[in-house]
Amino acid sequence: MTSDVPGGSAPGDDDDLDASDEALNWDGERDASHVAGPAPLRAKPAKAARPGRPVDASEADDAAAPSLPDTRLPSADTADAASDVPVPTSSFLLVSYGILAGAFFLYAVGWFTSVRRSTYVDPTALGTFMTGLGQILAVAVAPVWFGVVFALTRNSKPITRLLWLLLGLVLLVPVPFVMGV
């Protein structure tokens, strides 16, 4: 069948799929978006035949057998290697961390608003400096608490991190903002 398309391909060929049809087509491993999973573990490593040494039938069967996943209990070496792999964070924890981060951000906004409303004036230079420093630290304490908790509880259980973050929510409430002062 001939076509009027340059190159000589027929209208029904896979080569001339338009963009809407390409989205419905899967090319398998040839597709650029294909990501291969982890390679399966071998039950037994194949023994390589050394030159000059005869290969017995059991070794030949082991070498020709397909690789199967290892169903044995992990040894100490594989347990150490598996502990180096980071465990992905659950969706619940990610959502919780996001909500808590937003709450700490709102606390910083609350403290900033309270500082801007403050009309306290100290007659001494030291008092003015200390008041300004206290106001800057009041605004910065909520984001700093959040960051410090994440840095110091990196290797702890997630519940420990959540409890420290909740403690920060209780301790760092912008009281002047909440009370309307």
Instruction: Give the whole-angstrom CA distance, residue 142 versus residue 107.
Output: 6
Q: Quick one: pLDDT at residue 170?
A: 93
Low-confidence residues of the chain: pLDDT under 70:
1-20, 22-29, 31-32, 34, 36-86
Q: Quick one: pLDDT at residue 54?
A: 59
- To 5 degrees, how large is the angle CA 109–CA 132–CA 150? 50
Q: Quick one: pLDDT at residue 108?
A: 94
Q: pTM, whole model, 2 decimals? A: 0.52
Give the residue from 146, 71, 144 showing the smallest Cα distance to 102: 146
Q: Quick one: pLDDT at residue 129?
A: 92
Instruction: Give the whole-angstrom CA distance, residue 181 versus residue 178.
Output: 8
